[in-house]
Amino acid sequence: MKETSYAFSGDLSIVLSGEAGQGIQTIESMLTSFAKKSSYGVFATKEYMSRVRGGCNSTEILLSRNRVGSRVDRIDVLVALTPGAIPHLRRRITDRTLVLGEKETVVFDGLVDMPFSSIARDVGGSIFSNTVAVGAICALVKLDSDLCEASTRAIFASKGDEIRDKNVLALDKGYELGLSLASKVSIDIGRPEADPEDIMLTGAEAVSFGALAGGCNYVCAYPMSPGTTVLTTMAEHSKKFDLLVEQVEDEIGVANMAIGAWYAGARALVTTSGGGFALMSEAMSLSGMIETPFVAHIAQRPGPATGLPTRTEQGDLDLAIHSGHGDFLKIVLAPGDLSEGYELGKAAFDLADRFQSPVLLLTDQYYVDSYYTTAAFNVDPKPLAPRVVTGGPGYRRYALGSPDGISPRALPGISEGLVCVDSDEHDEGGHITEDPEVRKAMVEKRLAKIDAAKRAAIPPRLYGGEGGGYSHLLLGWGSVKGPVLAALAVLGRKDIAFLHFPWVYPLPAGVSAYLERARSIFAIEGNATGQLAALVEAETGHRIDGRILKYDGFQFSTEELAERIKAALPKGGAV
């Protein structure tokens, strides 16, 4: 180890880097669990290549005395588990980065040799090297050894006494190794102040739990990263809830089966990514025409085509808004944090049921794969009541006359009247027609839902600029929320406010009032064209002065975004 003392205070950024299959997630899950139990705020996110073995992946863990909600660019401690870790992360490594690794495999000037493998072999085999690494990191960040040991026993309890005991021994040996660095490394995160009642979960879990709270009882999907994480999460909980989970042969079948399930009375969810949702476009129109609810979770990744299947982007807003042919209501929601994931996951089912229309929940790879500590959700134990009626004699599925275009929805098999639907244009009873007057009336009926949805829309949420006292307004949607709020905290400027859109489309009423107060307006988005900015300009007539965009497959870091906001504001132009 070079003659340098490393001192870290405040938030601590730990990055683990290795090949796929090396068990990085094991280290991540154990370390974050121990930190959470110690009442530290935790934020963890990952970037990984689209391969089962090899390559170079990394996981970032941010530990803080309080809650944290964004990734950072800096690396305080790098645990390099493969030679490729150094070139892969070279840009983020500085003189202040403590690099830990095994000198036999990792070449780096100033490397701190950590013989994880040799210690693991003494314990019982190289398979325990990850637990040795966990113990070393726990010692470095001063996590309580008894807590870590007890938690390790619980984690491996189901593996049998021998595996459990060897992992505990590996953890203890690693802890001793970490303590040996105490003279060279000073880490002081600060006294943990996070609420011990906080929960820690992924974005995929937040959306899934919200869907369950919304009464979801049927999930179907064709696996497609990163949307598959919601499918697997729901499958894990299918034994605890009245929930059927089905893997279908393709995305066309997925969408049509979900529509059929809603028609029969189920509350169905599909989960996919942009390429899969593109195949559902025709079914979207079917939902619009037969006015049957439809809920889809779209976890975005960079396109076009296969693109970067394991990276992140916000490139599918236009796809969602313009999906399906013809004119009909589509509601697009986009959670920015875990709480909104739960709230909007639940709301999606009530909105689809209420408006008898598709509701699309847009997340992205960064959102679904990141996890962190947050306040426990406000869970209402009462399930949402379905908005259905019992159709009596003479029931007409598409009865006209409602000002919001919504006609009573009955379920087949439990109604005395016939519940007739058809993908062709139809009359009030659901029977095919080509009568121009009926056609006009049905189009206007469906369009009336759009205005009704605007009135029911969740308004955008303003952060900063209390009382309208801001000069510069930042617009954003979805997962940029955490990075923007973290960047604004770094900048510390009271003349900047952030307007976040959890309900993106139809654009909520009242947006212009926020725009009119600002001297300059900038959109911050994870795509190449500024899709929200274009929507706001088209809908409100207000000009967006600049776009701060990122489309390299990664989410904004706190430092990067703070610098780009700072550089953009004086210019008043695109960056």
For the segment 229-241, what is each residue's pLDDT rounded down to a tens digit? 999 999 999 999 9
Mean pLDDT of 307-320: 97
Sign of CA dihedral 157, 159, 161, 163: negative
Mean pLDDT of 489-504: 96
pLDDT, residue 5, reads: 59
Same domain, 162 and 286: no
324 occurs within a structural domain: yes
Backbone dihedral angles phi then psi of residue 302, each to the nearest 5 degrees: -65, 130
Task: Give the CATH number, domain containing residue 531.
Answer: 3.40.50.920
| Residue range(s) defining the domain that contains residue 49 | 6-188
383 occurs within a structural domain: no
Backbone dihedral angles phi then psi of residue 320, each to the nearest 5 degrees: -65, -45
Taking 80 as the threshold, does the pLDDT of residue 128 lie above it? yes
pLDDT in tens, 398-426: 999 999 999 999 999 988 889 999 999 99
Look up tokens 């988005």; give the residue. Answer: 525
85 occurs within a structural domain: yes
pLDDT, residue 571, reads: 52
Identify the domain boundary among 162, 188, 214.
Answer: 188
Taking 90 as the threshold, does the pLDDT of residue 19 lie above it? no
Taking 90 as the threshold, does the pLDDT of residue 452 lie above it? yes
Identify the domain boundary among 152, 168, 188.
Answer: 188
382 occurs within a structural domain: no
Task: Give the CATH number, domain containing residue 343.
Answer: 3.40.50.970
Same domain, 227 and 112: no
Cα(133)–Cα(143) distance, rounded to whole angstroms? 14
Same domain, 218 and 184: no
Question: In this structure, are residues 174 and 212 in contact, taking their beta carbons and an 8 Å threshold?
Answer: no
Same domain, 122 and 262: no
Number of domains in the chain: 4
Same domain, 431 and 530: no
193 occurs within a structural domain: no
pLDDT, residue 1, reads: 43
pLDDT, greater one: 8 or 204: 204
Same domain, 536 and 485: yes
Same domain, 157 and 65: yes
Question: In this structure, are residues 346 and 518 in contact, taking their beta carbons and an 8 Å threshold?
Answer: no
Question: In this structure, are residues 477 and 527 in contact, taking their beta carbons and an 8 Å threshold?
Answer: no
pLDDT, residue 193, reads: 84
Identify the domain boundary among 188, 221, 253.
Answer: 188
379 occurs within a structural domain: no
| DSSP SS3 for 255 | helix
**What mean pLDDT value characterizes the chain?**
94
Taking 90 as the threshold, does the pLDDT of residue 384 lie above it? no
pLDDT, residue 284, reads: 97
Question: In this structure, are residues 22 and 93 in contact, taking their beta carbons and an 8 Å threshold?
Answer: no
194 occurs within a structural domain: no
Task: Give the CATH number, domain containing residue 120.
Answer: 3.40.920.10
Same domain, 168 and 210: no
Same domain, 299 and 205: yes
pLDDT, residue 570, reads: 62
pLDDT in tens, 325-336: 999 999 999 999
CA distance to 17, 178, 241, 351, 452, per residue, from 509 (Å): 46, 56, 37, 17, 11
35 occurs within a structural domain: yes
pLDDT, residue 195, reads: 87
pLDDT, residue 574, reads: 39
Same domain, 88 and 38: yes
Same domain, 183 and 249: no
Same domain, 465 and 448: no
